[in-house]
């Protein structure tokens, strides 16, 4: 679950990380009211979950009411890389002496947390050369000690006046990351102000949705506008779904097979529209739910159903598909690969219910190729 900047800043503030005073505004009048209350100058910031807002014109400094009105009017409704701005964050502007970068995320291969700190912030971290990024690996059973933090900050070559403030923020950021069950916390830029204070000017936070059960306070973060519409619908239906950008809808049983299906569609030159694991017990209702979610995706040109029956029986799946086709008005044809337990019975059921929207392909690779050719490549 990704947070908007304003939510990320609220999250940071709970852990004592310094952020600027501010408030959200959904209209130009609200923006003016907020700015008048905070005092000038303010920064008017587009709230969209995509980086590079500054470059796209989504972040503007305003020195008075008229400028807030002008910038808020321009930014609300703006399209930033496909994300339409519905909400602004207005905060007291900061004077900036230097911009840094700081983040924590998980290094899965090393089974350690990874901290990254750079004296070159304010730009996308991908564009910072590796030798300008000081990395630290943190053993979660030990935690981030002050000593280790100081060594890390020294390795990043921050100026002496920024050291204490940065050490303090990094320790709080680590706590926010671990105790808050985040999978990513990023401050870019972390700024040094002319008065020597260090401060978070931006916030990027991803929370681990699997930990939601122990964070009642996250409810406030689940804004209606914050989610992929398809993912919200899938979640309501209890499906394991991740939205992607392509045209080949995917339904598979088991997370491993679903990921393999995404991979193979890519390998044969297609673009998956989603990851969807319907799990075991793929009965008619679940198949209807899965097909409904995928059918509502305007980019989908074909739906690839890839089932390997183990405990799941292919005849149950086939019955599910047949019933689902009667209940869902499908826009796109289905390419179905059924193998494993009761595959013969499953195929017989599909054969008895022939439809020009139903294409059987018993082999996974050929099924992927067929689906991609129907979708027309990418």
Of positions 21, 52, 143, 280, contacts ligand GDP by CB under 6 A:
52
The pairs formed by 141-148 with CB atoms below 8 angstroms and a separation of 24 or more are 143/174, 143/178, 144/113, 144/115, 144/170, 144/171, 144/174, 146/171
Q: Residue 87 or residue 337: which is nearer to Mn ion going by CB?
A: 87
Residue with tokens 């491993």: 256
Residue count, binding to ligand GDP (CB under 6 A) = 15
Determine, following the binding rule CB under 6 A, whether residue 22 of this chain makes contact with ligand GDP: no
Q: Residue 4 or residue 174: which is nearer to ligand GDP going by CB?
A: 4
165-204 residues in contact with ligand GDP (CB under 6 A) are 188-189, 201-202
Between CA 124 and CA 162 the distance in angstroms is 21
The pair of three-digit structure tokens given for residue 23, joined into one six-digit string: 């408030």
Of positions 53, 199, 313, 347, contacts ligand GDP by CB under 6 A:
53
Burial of residue 138 (CB within 10 Å: 0-12, 13-18, 19+) is buried
296-355 residues in contact with ligand GDP (CB under 6 A) are none
Based on its alpha-carbon atoms, the radius of gyration of the chain, rounded to whole angstroms, reads 25
The pair of three-digit structure tokens given for residue 121, joined into one six-digit string: 């912030």
What are the residue numbers of the active site?
A: 101, 186
Of positions 35, 43, 302, 364, contacts ligand GDP by CB under 6 A:
43
Q: What does DSSP assign to residue 22?
A: E
DSSP string, 321-361: HHHHHHHS--SS-EEEEEEETTHHHHHHHHHTT--TTEEE-
Q: Residue 8 or residue 270: which is nearer to ligand GDP going by CB?
A: 8
- Residue count of the chain, please give it: 378
Cβ atoms of residues 248 and 301 within 8 Å: yes
Q: Please choose, out of 51-59, 230-238, 338-346, 360-368, the segment that lies near ligand GDP by the rule CB under 6 A.
A: 51-59
Q: Please choose, out of 1-9, 199-207, 225-233, 319-327, the segment that lies near Mn ion by the rule CB under 5 A.
A: 199-207
Cβ atoms of residues 267 and 240 within 8 Å: no
Of positions 7, 47, 94, 342, contacts ligand GDP by CB under 6 A:
94
Cβ atoms of residues 262 and 275 within 8 Å: yes
**In the stretch 226-265, what mask flags binding to Mn ion with x, by CB under 5 A?**
----------------------------------------
**In the stretch 119-138, what mask flags binding to ligand GDP with x, by CB under 6 A?**
---x----------------
Determine, following the binding rule CB under 5 A, whether residue 202 of this chain makes contact with Mn ion: yes
Of positions 1, 32, 59, 287, contacts ligand GDP by CB under 6 A:
59
Least distance from ligand GDP to the Cβ atom of residue 335, Å: 40
Residue 99: which of Mn ion, ligand GDP, none does it interact with, CB under 5 to 8 A by kind?
ligand GDP
The pair of three-digit structure tokens given for residue 193, joined into one six-digit string: 């102000």
Q: Which of 208, 33, 224 is nearest to 105 (CA)?
A: 208
Interface with Mn ion by CB under 5 A: which residues?
Answer: 188, 202
Point out which residues bind ligand GDP (CB under 6 A): 43, 51-54, 59, 93-94, 96, 99, 122, 188-189, 201-202
């Amino acid at each position: 679950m990704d947070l908007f900047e304003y939510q990320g800043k609220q999250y940071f503030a709970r852990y004592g990380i310094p952020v600027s005073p501010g408030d959200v505004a959904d209209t130009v009048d609200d923006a003016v009211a907020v700015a008048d209350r905070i005092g000038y100058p303010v920064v008017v910031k587009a709230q969209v979950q995509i980086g590079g807002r500054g470059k796209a014109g989504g972040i503007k400094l305003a020195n008075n009411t008229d400028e807030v009105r002008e910038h808020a009017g321009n930014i609300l409704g703006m399209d930033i890389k496909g994300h339409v701005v519905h909400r602004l964050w207005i905060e007291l502007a900061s004077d900036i002496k230097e911009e840094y970068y700081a983040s924590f995320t998980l290094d899965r291969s090393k089974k350690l947390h990874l901290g990254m700190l750079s004296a070159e912030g304010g730009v996308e971290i991908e564009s910072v050369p590796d030798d300008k990024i000081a990395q630290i690996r943190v053993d979660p059973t030990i935690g981030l000690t002050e000593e280790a933090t100081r060594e890390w900050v020294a390795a990043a070559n921050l100026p002496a006046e920024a050291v204490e403030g940065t050490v303090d923020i990094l320790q709080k950021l680590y706590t926010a990351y671990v105790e808050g069950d985040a999978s990513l916390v990023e401050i870019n830029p972390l700024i040094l102000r002319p008065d020597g204070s260090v401060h978070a000017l931006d916030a990027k936070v991803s929370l681990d949705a699997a930990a939601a059960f122990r964070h009642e306070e996250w409810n406030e973060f689940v804004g209606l506008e914050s989610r992929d519409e398809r993912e919200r619908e899938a979640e309501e239906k209890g499906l394991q779904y991740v939205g992607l950008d392509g045209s080949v809808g995917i339904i598979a049983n088991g997370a491993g097979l679903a990921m393999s299906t995404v991979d193979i569609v890519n390998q044969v030159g297609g673009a998956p529209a989603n990851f969807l694991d319907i799990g075991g017990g793929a009965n008619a209702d679940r198949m209807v739910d899965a097909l409904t979610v995928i059918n509502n995706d305007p980019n989908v040109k074909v739906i690839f159903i890839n089932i390997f029956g183990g405990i799941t029986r292919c005849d149950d799946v086939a019955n599910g598909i047949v019933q689902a086709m009667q209940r869902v008005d499908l826009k796109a044809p289905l390419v179905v690969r059924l193998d494993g337990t009761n595959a013969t019975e499953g195929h017989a059921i599909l054969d008895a219910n022939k439809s020009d929207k139903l294409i059987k392909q018993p082999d996974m690779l050929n099924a992927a190729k067929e689906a991609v050719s129907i979708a027309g490549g990418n």
